[in-house]
Amino acid sequence: MKSHWEHVHEASGQPFDFSFFDRTSFVYDTDPAARAVVAVRREDARLEYPFFKGVQKAFYAQNRDVTDAAVLAEIAAGIGIDESKFVECFGSTAVREETFRDYATSQRSGIRGFLTLLIGPDSEGAFSLVTHGYRGPSELMPVVRQLLTAIR
């Protein structure tokens, strides 16, 4: 896994705190972060992407434990979400179910690994694959423009 992160760092300039690999008891589980994104989306969809970016930064660049609800709540508060509302929403059955629906959408769309970028849904509810793996903006944007034109 470390070599993958090193490759992404070299290709994208994305900062990484590689001391993550010195942890001895950490379990790499993306479900809490995914549920947290859904919780923020339910509170204010405009804050979903800023929150997602904050979680990514916290985990990869700052070596914070984004499986911890308190860490996720702090990130949410940093973008203007009330912490207590976030914690309540994050722990709800509705958010768990919505997160599983997001996972199902990913599976139906053919996602088998990350980084993956999709565009959609189109008029039939389908998503189109833009890329598997990292691609820079000069490679990515022509594909995005073409797909956006096709789904309009």
Give the per-residue pLDDT at 106.
Answer: 83
The last residue of a domain, from among 92, 108, 124:
108
Residues 21 and 88 in one domain: yes
Res. 114: pLDDT tops 90 = no
pLDDT the model gives residue 1: 67
Which pair of structure tokens corresponds to residue 112? Answer: 């088998």
Cα 124 versus chain centre, distance: 24
**Which contacts (CB < 8 Å, 24+ apart) does range 137-144 have?**
144/119
Confidence of residue 14 (pLDDT cuts 50, 70, 90): confident
- CA dihedral for 105, 123, 132, 90, sign (positive or negative): negative
47 and 75 assigned to the same domain:
yes
Range of the domain at 100: 2-108
Instruction: Please choose, from the candidates 14, 57, 9, the residue with its C-alpha nearest in 3D space to the C-alpha of residue 33.
Output: 57
Predicted confidence (pLDDT) per residue in 77-106, tens digit:
999 999 999 999 999 999 999 999 988 888
Give 46-64 as a DSSP string.
GGHHHHHHHHHIIIIIT--
The residues that bridge with 54 in the sheet, in sequence order, are: none
* Whether the Cβ atoms of residue 8 and residue 59 lie closer than 8 Å to each other: no
Asked if residue 124 and residue 87 are part of one domain, the reply reads no
pLDDT at residue 16 above 80?
Answer: yes
Q: Based on the domain organization, do 103 and 115 belong to the same domain? A: no
How many domains are contained in the chain?
2
Q: What is the pTM of this model?
A: 0.78
DSSP at 123: T
- Clarify whether residues 137 and 150 are in a common domain: yes
> How far is 11 from 136, CA to CA, in rounded Å?
8
Between CA 64 and CA 15 the distance in angstroms is 14
**Can you give the CATH number for the domain in which 76 is found?**
1.10.472.60
Dump pLDDT digits (tens) for 23-43: 777 777 889 999 999 999 999
Closest C-alpha to 30, from 110, 114, 152: 114
